Amino acid sequence: MTPNKENFIKAIYELGGDHSVISNKKLVKNLSISAASVTEMNARLLKENLISHVPYRGVKLTASGIRIAHQLIRKHRIWEVFLSEKLGYNWNEVHADADLLEHVSSDLLIERLNDFLDEPEFDPHGGVIPNKDGSLPETSAFPLTDVSTGRPFTIKEVDDDEEFLNYLLEKDIQLGDHYTLTDVESFDGPLTLETPEGRQILIGHKAAFKILVDYVV
Amino acid sequence: MTPNKENFIKAIYELGGDHSVISNKKLVKNLSISAASVTEMNARLLKENLISHVPYRGVKLTASGIRIAHQLIRKHRIWEVFLSEKLGYNWNEVHADADLLEHVSSDLLIERLNDFLDEPEFDPHGGVIPNKDGSLPETSAFPLTDVSTGRPFTIKEVDDDEEFLNYLLEKDIQLGDHYTLTDVESFDGPLTLETPEGRQILIGHKAAFKILVDYVV
DNA sequence: GAACATTTTTAGTCTATCCTAAAAATATAT
DNA sequence: ATATATTTTTAGGATAGACTAAAAATGTTC
Ligand SMILES: [Mn+2]
Ligand SMILES: [Mn+2]
Ligand SMILES: [Mn+2]
Ligand SMILES: [Mn+2]
């Protein structure tokens, strides 16, 4: 396993490759490499039985491919917790360094880091940290776009994308915040959220899709 | 700069390449690569002006080569402090992980880690941590083989080699310990050290060379 | 100083990863 | 259904890094 292969598998996973076939096009865009390079990497991973391939359609992770993705994401997210909680990184700064560190982390290192951090369950963006064995803990959260008006909810997880996180910083939206949906414009228009204190926040439909929430009990 | 080049430059430095010409043979042994690969890497580093090369004699670091070596060693040693002090690694466990982490550490990461660790001066083996600008703090220490009998001294630094560190663990020799040299066998024979409590420790000449000490004032 | 030994360099390959350009397959629009 | 557009694959190259085997240079021994 090399850093390149690991990143490639992670990209497939993050595009939904654990349950559906991902096109080369999507990987080209996500990884910023040429289409030819995607075809080549597919061939390599196919030989190692980490993906299944439907010619001219795309690829899907096998069970062992998914396990490797989960283990890499575990490393990534534990590093993000460390950078955020111990080194004072903002949540929009952690990703880049974690993306490098994840590839040079021995199991020993990750488990000791995990202990040092008191076995965190979530990364700074609310992403759940996979278990050591490569399984994924159960979580319940759904996109903000699916929330019903009037029923209070809380922010559970947000997209780990630097630009988007800056947008949330501007709007002062944080994990754990409580809101109520008061209005939705039709035709995928913006959503209006209200804080318990009565402050109104306007969120575009595309942004709302990158925010996962859950109802307050 | 790639991890391979960085390791190569560090190896030259650790073999004395900051002040003398290092043969390919030594690098072959140190890095466990073929002689041909050493010749090739020399050519690459020469083109980047990081080394000077005397054909059939060996290589020596240029000023910028030395600066790069120091900056890498800074990263390496700061990571070693972290692994040792925060994650509970033993001093014979830290090297391997630090050897990987050093290559994926942004300046931001290293400076924040340095703050988090309260700006340590030395790594777990007593090696001085180079400054951020690539300069080296002054230190005074000399090999145990050069110590005079009867004058109390303290352990300042030991070789960062897993096998050797295990040997020191067995002999219960630690940084900061105080001893007096009571006897030296001729013909590079073993040295006899005595603790303040009167316990006697026998050290082979080769091992004594890997231990740096300084007199107690 | 010739003979032998050691070390370094060169020549020729290999793999991983990337690329561009062209060909083949698939999708869309009229 | 055909023409056009998009996507994927193939073909051919590049670079970093590693190797082995052979050639060239240097060192050592008698
Ligand atoms: Mn991330
Ligand atoms: Mn990564
Ligand atoms: Mn070390
Ligand atoms: Mn290293």
| Angle, vertex CA B33, rays to CA A109 and CA B27, nearest 5 | 95
**Residue B212: enclosing H or E segment and its boundaries?**
strand B211-215
Candidates A80, A83, A93, A104: best to mutate against B (most CBs of B within 10 A) is A104
- Which chain A residues touch B108 with a CB distance below 8 Å? 93, 97
Residues 6+ apart with CB under 8 A from B198: none
DSSP structural state of residue A31: H
CB neighbours of residue B26 within 10 Å: 16
Domains and CATH numbers, chain B: 3-61 (1.10.10.10), 142-215 (2.30.30.90)
Bridge-partner residues for B53, per DSSP?
B59
Q: Map residue A154 onto helix, strand or coil.
A: strand
Task: Count the residues in chain A.
Answer: 217
Rounded to whole angstroms, the distance from the CA of residue A41 to the C1' of nucleotide C14 is 18
User: What percent of chain A has pLDDT above 90?
Assistant: 96
Q: Map residue A211 onto helix, strand or coil.
A: strand
From the list A88, A97, A113, the residue facing B87 with the nearest CB is A113
Q: How far is the CA of A150 from the centre of ligand 2 (A)?
A: 40
Q: Are B92 and B162 in contact (CB under 8 A)?
A: yes
From the list B93, B104, B116, the residue facing A101 with the nearest CB is B104
The sign of the CA dihedral B137, B6, A34, A105 is negative
The sign of the CA dihedral B126, B130, B135, B137 is negative
On the question of pLDDT at B195 being above 90, the answer is yes
Displacement of CA A1 from its chain's centroid (Å): 22
Bridging pattern class, strands A153-158 and A178-184: antiparallel
Which has the closest alpha carbon to A99: B206, B104, B151, B94?
A: B104
Q: What is the mean pLDDT of residues A126-136?
A: 96
Q: Are A45 and A9 in contact (CB under 8 A)?
A: yes
On the question of pLDDT at A186 being above 90, the answer is no
Question: Between helices B107-116 and B63-85, what is the axis angle to 10°?
Answer: 40
DSSP readout, B78-91?
HHHHHHHHTS---T
Mind listing the pLDDT tens digit for each residue in B126-168?
999 999 999 999 999 999 999 999 999 999 999 999 999 999 9
Comparing A91-100, B81-90, B102-111, B179-188, the range with the smallest average pLDDT is: B179-188
User: What percent of chain A has pLDDT above 70?
Assistant: 100
Burial B65-98 (b: 16+ CB within 10 A, else e): bbbbbbbbbbbbbbbbbbbbebbebebbbbbebb
Cα–Cα distance list, B111 to A67, A90, A154, B78 (Å):
34, 15, 35, 9
Contacts 24+ apart (CB under 8 A), B166-173: B166/B92, B167/B207, B168/B211, B169/B90, B169/B92, B171/B201, B171/B203, B173/B201, B173/B211
Q: Are B146 and B123 in contact (CB under 8 A)?
A: no
Mind listing the pLDDT tens digit for each residue in A137-155?
999 999 999 999 999 999 9
On the question of pLDDT at A189 being above 90, the answer is no
- Shortest distance between the Cα of B102 and any Cα of chain A, in A, equals 10
Bridge-partner residues for B215, per DSSP?
B153
Residues 6+ apart with CB under 8 A from B208: B143, B144, B145, B191
From the list B87, B106, B116, the residue facing A112 with the nearest CB is B87
- Shortest distance between the Cα of B104 and any Cα of chain A, in A, equals 6
Of all residues in chain A, the one with the smallest CA distance to B116 is A87
Residues 6+ apart with CB under 8 A from A138: none
Residues 6+ apart with CB under 8 A from A4: A41
Q: What is the mean pLDDT of residues B100-107?
A: 98
Q: Are B159 and B210 in contact (CB under 8 A)?
A: yes
pLDDT at position B217, please? 81
On the question of pLDDT at A16 being above 90, the answer is yes
Mind listing the pLDDT tens digit for each residue in A46-93?
999 999 999 999 999 999 999 999 999 999 999 999 999 999 999 999
Chain B: which residues have CB within 8 Å of chain A? 83, 86-89, 93, 96-97, 100-101, 103-104, 106, 108-109, 112-113, 115-116
The sign of the CA dihedral A64, A66, A69, A71 is negative
pLDDT at position A31, please? 98
Cα–Cα distance list, A80 to A94, B25, B73 (Å):
5, 42, 24
